[in-house]
Structure 1
Amino acid sequence: MQQPLAYRMRPTKIEEIVGQKDLVAPGKIINRMVTAKLLSSMILYGPPGTGKTSIASAIAGSSKYAFRILNAATDTKKDLQIVAEEAKLSGTVVLMLDEIHRLDKAKQDFLLPLLESGQIILIGATTENPYINISPAIRSRTQIFQVHPLESHDIETAVMRALQDKEKGLGQEPIQLDQAALNFLTHSTNGDLRSALNALELAAKSTPKTNTGKIHLQLADIEACLQKKALTQDKNGDAHYNVLSALQKSIRGSDVNAALHYAARLLESGDINSLTRRLLVIAYEDIGLANPAAAARTVSAVTTCDRIGLPEARIPIADTIIELCLSPKSNSGIQAIQAATERIKHGDYGEIPAHLRDTHFQGAKQLGHVGYQYPHDFPNDWVAQQYLPDRIKNDQYYKPKQNGKFEQALALQYQKLRAAQRKE
């Protein structure tokens, strides 16, 4: 069985890697390791098809070490033992361990001493944030490097290399790739080189030759053969949270078009639940008291989405996003609770005033739980009395903003109450 083009075109030395210049260009960290022959174990994390396995392959090829690939989820401890035996014989093996975030404790315990001794140079690959999903024991013995989606010019470099390579690529066939097809191929895969190369190969293998014996690949051929890209915001990947973060920051920044763009990414992946949950958070965190009605309408829109489902759910979602973007905004609520929480964390906030303590038991008076004034017994249902503990009685957590009529009214009432309290 012939291996896919993307597999065949994996680099065998550091100079052949496309993209990730911040890691592999001359003078950068991985290039320095290879040049100095001082390899250390590492974890590469980033979206699929961005070169994690290619970097591992190039490191092994440049260092002349044996190179093995295993999967932490599907390969067994016995498979690791085979690699370890090979390392004893050859001195060092570069082990590419895919899905390293799924490494169980038994395999981890087996690997740790081999990493310590340097018999195995571990290059872990993951699409998930290693600071969250990989055990501290592994993290402490590795360096963590993030890889990024490739730029279109990087993908073009790899595509042209594959077209010209007669040994591993498609160079044995007279392939003519139209510029429009090349542009589509390099821009439509979200930086995923694997998808681009495999689509190119499918197009080359399935397009009939012309009368002149050439394989003429046009835009329509590439469009037909480019498999739909698995969106990078899959629910278990780090990129999923990046899209949600970008959505919230776009709404917070009042950029309607950017917010709709990131929402569309989530909708296209079918992940309506994460989107609606985040909209509820945004409504209260970022719009908040500047426009409470918008928060209420967001709740109503989310309920509607649950009832009607996709694709119609896009409509209330779009309406909600537009309103939240263009609404006045206030984060005074979250700032207030954060300030109060910080005071609690620092401690030394004193005892609850005696007159506020529970009196619904015999002996409350003997304990001094007296003196509470019931506000509803006074004009305007308010009476000046102390509610905070003595040590922090002057603390002020809520700092009203003036970005909406509702909070402006709250601010005015707040200042009146504080002024009246100080007069007593």
Structure 2
Amino acid sequence: MHNEPLAYRMRPRNIDEIAGQQEIIGQQTALYRMIKNGHVPSMLLYGDPGIGKTSLAHAIAGTSSLPFIAMNATVSGKKDVEAVVAESRITGKVLLFLDEIHRFNKLQQDTLLPHVESGAIILIGATTENPYHDVNPAIRSRCGEIRQLSRLEPNDLMAVLQRALVDEERGLGKIAIAITNDQLVKISEGVNGDARKALTILESVVSASDEVDAKIVIEDWLIDNLIGRIGLFGDKKGSHFYNLLSALQKSVRGSDINAAVYYLAHLLEIGDLVAVSRRLLVMAYEDIGLAAPEVGPHVLAATEAAVRLGMPEARIPLANAVIEMCLASKSNSAYKAVDAAIRAINEGKTGDIPLHLRDTHYAGAADLGHVGYKYPHNTPIGSFGGWTDQHYLPDKIQNVEFYTPVIAGEEKKLAAIYEKLKGFRKK
């Protein structure tokens, strides 16, 4: 009887047993050929849980036959690092797999880095967080390979499950199991590309099933029950959460309702209502803007209602807001205008405020020359209201334009007014 979980027992023993990830470790890749020829570079593996980072490290170790040490940065201390360094002095070279590498502290890094640089320690770091955000640059610079692993496809997972069913040494091959191809497909498609979850479900469903005529008979309802909400992944503090926020905004910007609603649903299931509401409000003004100025207040009302309601009812006003933004005319002109002004200021394109615009609410302002301001409300111009021809920007940047209107939705009218006022100034 095995004590270890099936997912642990079925880890690939060499790189030829890796499921999926063919673009990274397939037989036609440089990394595969390097490892087969005995050269293992230090590397960082990045991706969601269960997609094979640890398995790939173990497979590389099995192929290379190097002394292999596995550590987790959440529980390892300086003494653990020193032990790895001592091992490298004895064996000449050690392959170190460091899980959750982004949690390594500076003291641990300082102990390890010289030996990684010298090649005495070959480092394979794994992280669920974006290494360009969460891994120290000193470690990144010493890793020749930084690879983002992808979630496994159902076909890859089918191969993993079928291998587990026939493997008599590590898998379930010694047990007579009646499981259909459709049931294996259901597991493969229900775990969102996570091999560990697929094997865990297979093991669990076998354990929960009854034996009939000397065979374990698998029933559909057991698989459905165990899969449950397993398709969700990520948390509200991880890189994947921010990737979902980015995907939501880009889908709204691209007017794709179905994609936007999908990413909204995923974000709400992960569960940070405040962050989602904040992003939606930013989107209303960044991406919809002046083309549909009524959308901003609508989204504000929706987000306030969502926070007041809480989940699950919050999904309703937020879905309204997302769909309205998808279908609204779009303009980023205001956002680009203020960014252009900020950029100009930071580049030193500034000047003195014109004297006629300076504060005059004190005795002596006239003596300083703070005079000459023309009050626009005193000179009405058609149905527009008050306007008068005077300059407002500093003299040095008098002719700079930061705003470029987008001819969309309501901004068409604003653009026409803008151009007409420019014409008045030229006259």
Out of 27-36 and 102-111, give the one that drifted further. Answer: 27-36
Deviation at 1:377, TM superposition (A): 4.0
* Structure 1 unmatched runs, 5+: none
- 1:368 deviates by 4.7
Distance 1:189 1:181 in 2: 13
Which deviates further from its counterpart, 367-376 or 67-76?
A: 367-376
1:399 aligns to 2:401 (yes or no)? no
Aligned to 2:284: 283
Determine the C-alpha separation between the residues in 2 that align with 1:154 and 1:175. 21
Checking the alignment, whether the CA contact within 8 Å between 2:48 and 2:234 is kept in structure 1 is no
AA matched with 1:249: K
Distance 1:183 1:105 in 2: 45
Partner residue, 2:25: 24
Find 1:201's aligned residue among 200, 203, 207: 203
**Equivalent residue letter for 1:155:** L
State the distance in 1 between where 2:47 and 2:365 align: 61
Q: Does the CA-based 8 Å contact 1:195-1:227 persist in structure 2?
A: no
Q: Mark the runs of 5 or more structure 2 residues left unpaired by the alignment.
A: none
Letter of the aligned partner of 1:255 in structure 2?
Answer: D
Q: Which amino acid aligns with 2:413?
A: A
* 2:128 matched residue in structure 1: 127
Query: Conserved in 2, the CA contact under 8 Å of 1:233 and 1:266?
Result: no
Q: How many residue pairs end up in the alignment?
A: 421
**Do the aligned partners of 2:177 and 2:216 also contact (CA within 8 Å) in 1?**
yes
**Aligned twin of 2:163:** 161
Structure 2 CA distance for partners of 1:43 and 1:363, relative to 1, 3 Å: farther
Aligned to 2:227: 226
Change (3 A) 1:29 1:235: farther
1:180 to 182, 187, 197: 182
Aligned-residue offset at 1:147: 0.6
Partner of 1:108: 109
What does residue range 234-249 of structure 1 map to in structure 2 within 5 Å? 234-249=235-250
Deviations 1:155-175 (A, max 9, x none): 111111111111111111112
Whether contact under 8 Å (2:236, 2:271) holds in the other structure is no
Task: Give the direction of change, closer, same or farther, for the CA distance of 1:38–1:351 in structure 2 (3 Å limit).
Answer: farther
> Deviation at 1:242?
1.6
| Pairs within 5 Å for 1:1-400 | 2-142=3-143, 143-211=145-213, 213-226=214-227, 228-229=229-230, 231-359=232-360, 368-379=369-380, 380-400=385-405
Q: Give the RMSD, CA atoms, in angstroms.
A: 1.9
Contact 1:128 1:236 in 2 (8 A): no
Q: TM-score normalized by structure 2?
A: 0.93
| Cα offset, 1:102, TM superposition | 0.8
Q: Secondary structure at the match of 2:217?
A: strand
**Matched position secondary structure for 2:69:** strand
Residues 230/118 of structure 1: CA separation in 2 closer, same or farther (3 Å cut): farther
Alpha-carbon contact 1:233-1:243 (below 8 Å) kept: no
> What one-letter code is carried by the residue in structure 1 that aligns with 2:324?
E
In the superposition, the TM-score normalised over structure 1's length comes to: 0.94
Q: Quote the Cα distance in structure 2 between the aligned partners of 1:84 and 1:217.
A: 49
**Percent same amino acid among aligned pairs?**
49
- Deviation (angstroms), 1:58: 1.0
Stretch of structure 1 that moved more, 374-383 or 70-79: 374-383
Deviations 1:227-272 (A, max 9, x none): 6427323112222112111211221122212211111111222232
